[in-house]
Amino acid sequence: MYHSQRLALKYFTAAIALFGVMIVAGLLAAYYYIDPQILYNVFDFSMAKILHIDVLIIWLLMGFFGAVYWFLPEELGRETVGLGVAKVAFYVLCAAVLVVAAVFIFVQYGKSGEFSLWFINQGRKYVEAPRWAALGITAVVLVFMYNVVGTALKAKKITGVVAVLIVDLVPLFALYLISLPAITNMSVDLYWWWWLVHMWVEATWEVLIGCIMALALMQLLGTSRRIVETWLYIEVALVLGTGILGLGHHYFWIGTPKYWLSIGGLFSAFEPLPLLGMVVHAVYDSGVHRMKATNRPAFYWVMAEAFGNFIGAGVWGFMMTLPQINLFSHGTQWTVSHGHFAFWGAYGCGVIAVIYLALQKSRSVSYMDGTAWKWSFALLNIGLVGMAGALLVSGMAQAFYERAIGGSTLQAFIQAQSSPWFMQGMYARFGFGILFAVGYVILVYNLLTVGRREAVGAAVPAAT
């Protein structure tokens, strides 16, 4: 095993640990809707939510880094360049996450001023981390870029997947710089902030996970490089073609010119189309391999990624992306529902699939299967679908009572929050959240034990 892959395992461990923190913070945030008095003035909803969504970003990012550190040496046939710096960057990132989390939990907020921006909380959703930590994340991304580009240069070799990856790393780094300035004009601030949030999630991350999945499919199914790279180019072109200007669906109501209504609606409406192609591709692959692979958990998680992405981003997204609907749905639990489903489908499932692949090799298991992963797969996915469904009911109740009937007044907001439809959705979301958490516990157990408890080199069923 390459040293780069040992670093990848550390990233995966940190990612899974943070996945757990995200779930705990999410359950707490969900519980505030059931009992708003809990931890009042001690640890308010806003802080639980910040932890929940910021940790989401970090665990996925760590999962992506781990995946690239895992596949890169095999792809380029040599050890990753600059691993010493990469290891330091890993520990710096972990320490920074711990310190920021401690500040969010114990300090929470400060006076309006530069000190708070630098050391406590920047106050912009998803990038609340104080400036010093944002600079640290930027430095870590730079080190990551150096590792990838340096390895390609040193190997004097570049593959299609690595070329796409390198091109993608430039906006991945550059866009994060938007987290640093504090712009006082709210419209201008939101305009650029959405570049960061949308272009990371619906453009650069999509390309990054596309590269990771391409590398994973070659290892998991032995798919030929030509096939994988051809589809990577097609899917990246389609995703970027629709995703970049799909940014406009965030510009509907922030004070930007009216033409964004047309641009945002049009390109967002096209976003499900490439995802449908991915679903057809997933069915084809499952048929070619007759739902069998030497790593069944990884195979199933890859399939879940294709379907989850289509339903979460495609179905849930299209429901609310046209401006006439979005006028009522934006900023409600409806959006939250879409966010949960889309993040899970597009990224969460993919990272878990890669971790199973890495474990198979690091534990020298020729055939990976068992029972526990099936339970975690089922509980995590049922829990997630249940949460998304429950949040959808609550969000629709909000759009119906608060926005469409009540005209978005404060009184209408309060009435909608106490409507039985909204509250039942909140109870159901918490219940499915518990189910999801149980799935996570089994996932951790399985990741710790899979391949260790089962017979190494057990009979491999015929895979095509």
Query: Which residues contact another protein by CB under 8 A?
Result: 223-224, 226-227, 230-231, 262, 265-266, 269-270, 272-273, 276-277, 279-281, 283-284, 287-288, 310-311, 314-316, 318-320, 322, 324-325, 327-329, 396, 399-401, 404-405
Specify the residue, 313 or 352, whose C-beta has the smaller distance to another protein: 313
In this structure, how many other beta carbons lie within 10 angstroms of the beta carbon of residue 126? 16
The minimum distance between CB 227 and another protein, in angstroms, equals 5
Specify the residue, 199 or 388, whose C-beta has the smaller distance to another protein: 388
Nearest to 70 by CA among 139, 12, 133: 12
Specify the residue, 126 or 318, whose C-beta has the smaller distance to another protein: 318
The minimum distance between CB 322 and another protein, in angstroms, equals 5
Specify the residue, 364 or 409, whose C-beta has the smaller distance to another protein: 409
Q: Tokens 């995966």 sit at which residue?
A: 12
C-alpha span between 348 and 90 (Å, rounded)? 20
Q: Which residues have a Cβ under 8 Å from the Cβ of 231 and sit 6 or more positions away?
A: 214, 281
C-alpha span between 304 and 420 (Å, rounded)? 33
Q: Helix (H, G, I), strand (E, B), or coil: what is residue 295?
A: strand
CA count, 13 A, side-chain hemisphere, 261: 9
With beta carbons less than 8 A apart as the criterion, state whether 27 and 434 touch.
yes
The minimum distance between CB 315 and another protein, in angstroms, equals 5
The two three-digit tokens of residue 18, written as one number? 């943070």
The minimum distance between CB 266 and another protein, in angstroms, equals 6
Specify the residue, 264 or 439, whose C-beta has the smaller distance to another protein: 264
The minimum distance between CB 400 and another protein, in angstroms, equals 5
Sign of CA dihedral 449, 370, 219, 142: negative
CA count, 13 A, side-chain hemisphere, 203: 25
The minimum distance between CB 216 and another protein, in angstroms, equals 17
The minimum distance between CB 101 and another protein, in angstroms, equals 36
Based on C-alpha coordinates, what's the Rg of the chain? 22
Specify the residue, 147 or 329, whose C-beta has the smaller distance to another protein: 329
| Torsion-angle region of 458 (φ positive above 0: left; ψ -120 to 50: alpha; else: beta) | beta
Q: Tokens 């530069």 sit at which residue?
A: 114
Which residues does residue 295 pair with via DSSP β-bridges, in sequence order?
A: 368
Q: Rounded to a whole number, what is the distance in angstroms from the first to the last CA of the chain?
A: 26
The minimum distance between CB 165 and another protein, in angstroms, equals 21
The minimum distance between CB 436 and another protein, in angstroms, equals 22
- How buried is residue 320: exposed, middle or buried, by Cβ count under 10 Å (0-12/13-18/19+)? buried
With residue 358 as reference, give the H or E element that holds it.
Answer: helix 349-362
Specify the residue, 186 or 283, whose C-beta has the smaller distance to another protein: 283
Specify the residue, 65 or 341, whose C-beta has the smaller distance to another protein: 341
Specify the residue, 199 or 399, whose C-beta has the smaller distance to another protein: 399
